[in-house]
Structure 1
Amino acid sequence: MRDSHLHTGRKAPRPATEARPLPGPAFFSAAPQIAEEAALWLQALSGERRASRHTIDAYARDVGVFLRFLTEHLGAKPDAAALSAMQPADLRAFLARRRNDGLESRSLLRALAAVRNFLRFLEKKGLARTDVFGAVRAPKRPHSLPKALTVGDARDLVDPEQRAGEAREPWVLARDAAVMALLYGVGLRISEALSIQRADAPIGRTDRVTITGKGGKTRTLPVIEPVRRAIEAYLAICPYDLAGGPLFVGARGGPLSPRIVQLAIQRLRGALGLPDSATPHALRHSFATHLLGRGGDLRTIQELLGHASLSTTQIYTAVDKQRLLDAYRSAHPRAD
């Protein structure tokens, strides 16, 4: 199956389900002026900001709950004067109520963002103030460890032989294999791999590649021979003239969409029986975790990954410790 129809360069039309009307003023428990402004805010999110329907629905619910809370908390429907006089203690009370309602940190953070966005919209019209947010400590983000693949699973995922039976053009299979090889063999983000130009391809005796990562920072990375061979295999059968353009292209010769690579890995993990956590970014996690497990220096791994702070890289020490603990529990005769 060709993948060109998945990436045309145009913004996809919104699904028909997003055509349902936005909540109107009656949805919000507030003084008439604030309720009307809330409806206008949602329209602005939908129109100018082009927020997704999911985001708009979530923000509408969060602000609706906030305004109902204020109505109960203040003893009257909030108006511009009440919102302008709001204190940090009022926001803390709202967060405490939502926490008691069972919301976890991720949902609390979204609710706080929604309320801040709404009040910022009102502030531009002189109807509220947002400086109170500076005195309120946001809930801590939930800390989840990256899910690295086992060495065997990572090798299977990047092995082109694992996709030999797919009904896809050989050059497409070779292209996807080369991208995956860069993710696992060099530790690139998918956007970084797809940003490489044909003129900069690490092939032959060129065993380095220079990447511009987050924040516009560049780093030069070593490229091991298996990765170079994967890129060479792709170039040998690619039907397009890549001179002057990107190294990786889609079925019609345009820039390759990250979504195409994500779908390729999705198909492959289904065939290999891998978990849903086996994603393009999991290959980057696996690169770091496996290097650390083989004695790699944390500072070096930081430089390879392009992390601005060592604390970001240190998460992989916890990943590796968890891997060792899991191995101990599964293998030690007294682990039970």
Structure 2
Amino acid sequence: MKRGDTWATEIMHIQSATSNEMVSHPADVTIGQVEEACKAFMRSLQPSSKLTVRFIMKQLADDLGFPVGDSQGNPFKVEQLPWHVLTSDKVTAVVDQWKEKELTKQTTSLRLYVIKGIARACFMRHLMSAHQYMMLKEIKASGGTNLIGRGREIRNDLRDALLKNCMDDERIQGLRDAAMIALLFGSGIRRAEATSVQAETVDLVEAEFRIKAKGANVSLVPMSPLAVQHMAAWLEVRNKLVGPRGPLFSRILKGGKVLKSGIKPDSLYRLMMERSLKADLPYLVRPHDARRTMATRIIKEEGELAAQAALRHKNLSTTQIYDMRKREKVKEILRSFD
């Protein structure tokens, strides 16, 4: 379907393919109008949030039973889907499914935020009735509380897939992004800390670098051999182009020109999610996932005190959030059951 085509013919297909009634009014809503509403919602977001929201929209499309393409087999962009026909009954049914899957309240709230944001944009453009919009606004999140901290442990094969995507990129951005991802996984630093690293503070021989951490403290941070490998490749190119001083992770223009200025924390966040999508990972990998991965593995192998030192936590209780050993022990015991 084209931007000027209406959803009228496709709505009947959606209604017949789902068990919950979906309403459509006005009947002459075009693909382009829905797309513009979604783009207006996206414009209200921070740059670092847009990729996350678009990923969530794809998940929602699957959960809501939206078609992947028109009757002729032409694929829809996620912004072109019939978001304007959502009803509170349909969304409530999906929220109940999320509850059965034991999604956290935070995850459910984020998905509802996206639904309500798109619904508001549709309502403001007269693509959705006031009653329909108000009923959607009243839906509340349900689910449990996250008691295991932020982020998730990333398997080595998924980390390696991210790095491979970078190395397969013939542009200079590939070298930079590989060094960035390897450093995050190989040192456990925060994204704001990563973007503050200066090239002249990196010591490849001693495998460490200096940062200004939280509270304006200066720390020497060790890094893994994998990080050293990718950092060496990036620094060799970077230093020839902009000199040996300045932000480690330089901004790079689309044409490939390397700038002396560095990337921002939000840009680092966005770049990791873009690499996750390009590498076709089952979920988006975020900067804090790398920190969580390192913390979890150090705790397993060396204990909480070693992890506390590596993460530079003031309080051991903060580090203990990452300790999954008791859960792993229970899983090990259960595996021995008949």
Whichever residue aligns with residue 322 of structure 1, its letter is: R
Question: Which of the residues 312, 325, 331 maps onto 1:306?
Answer: 312
Aligned residue in 1 for 2:227: 227
Flag structure 1 segments of 5+ consecutive residues without an equivalent. Answer: 1-14, 21-103, 108-140
Check conservation: 2:190, 2:291, Cα contact below 8 A.
Answer: yes
Q: Which residue of 2 aligns with 1:248?
A: 249
Q: Quick one: distance in 2 between partners of 1:268 and 1:300? A: 31
Higher-Rg member (1/2)? 1
Q: What is the CA–CA distance in structure 2 between the aligned matches of 1:182 and 1:312, rounded to whole Å?
A: 22
When normalised by structure 2's length, the TM-score is: 0.50
| 3-state SS of paired residue (1:209) | strand
- Once the two structures are superposed, residues 220-277 of structure 1 have per-residue CA deviations (whole angstroms, 9 ceiling, x without a partner) of 2222332112111012223631333111101141211233332332233234443435
1:164–1:223 CA distance, 2 compared to 1 (3 A):
closer
Distance across 2 between alignment mates of 1:142 and 1:303: 25
Query: Residue 183 of structure 1 corresponds to which residue in structure 2?
Result: 184
**Mapped partners of 2:268, 2:147: distance in 1:** 27
Who is 2:112 aligned against?
A: none
**Using the alignment, how far apart are the partners of 1:19 and 1:182 within structure 2?**
31
Match of 2:153 among 128, 149, 154: 149
CA distance in 2, matches of 1:213, 1:144: 24
Q: Which amino acid aligns with 1:281?
A: H
SS at structure 2 position matched to 1:289: helix
- 3-state DSSP class of the match of 1:185? helix
Distance in 2 between the 1:212 and 1:173 partners?
A: 26
Structure 2 runs not aligned, ≥5 long: 1-38, 45-104, 110-144, 254-258
Whole-Å Cα distance in 1 between the matches of residues 321 and 161 of structure 2? 24
Which of 282, 286, 304 is residue 279 of structure 1 equivalent to?
Answer: 286
Which residue does the alignment assign to 1:215? 215
Q: Using the alignment, how far apart are the partners of 2:233 and 2:43 within structure 1?
A: 47
**2 CA distance for matches of 1:262 and 1:105?**
19
Identical residues among aligned pairs (%): 24
The residue correspondences of 1:308-323 to structure 2 (distance < 5 A) are 308-317=314-323, 319-323=324-328
Say yes or no: does 1:297 pair with 2:303. Answer: yes
Question: How does the TM-score come out when normalised to structure 1?
Answer: 0.50
Residue matched to 1:112:
none
Q: What amino acid maps onto 1:156 in structure 2?
A: D
Q: Deviations over 1:47-88 (max 9, x none)?
A: xxxxxxxxxxxxxxxxxxxxxxxxxxxxxxxxxxxxxxxxxx
CA distance in 1, matches of 2:158, 2:325: 16
Find the aligned partners of 1:172 and 1:105 in 2 and give their Cα distance.
33
Tell me by how many angstroms 1:157 deviates: 4.7
Aligned length: 199
Cα distance in 1 for partners of 2:331, 2:154 equals 12
| CA distance in structure 1 between the aligned counterparts of 2:331 and 2:149, rounded to whole angstroms | 14
Root-mean-square deviation (Å): 3.5
* Aligned partners of 2:190 and 2:288 also within 8 Å: yes
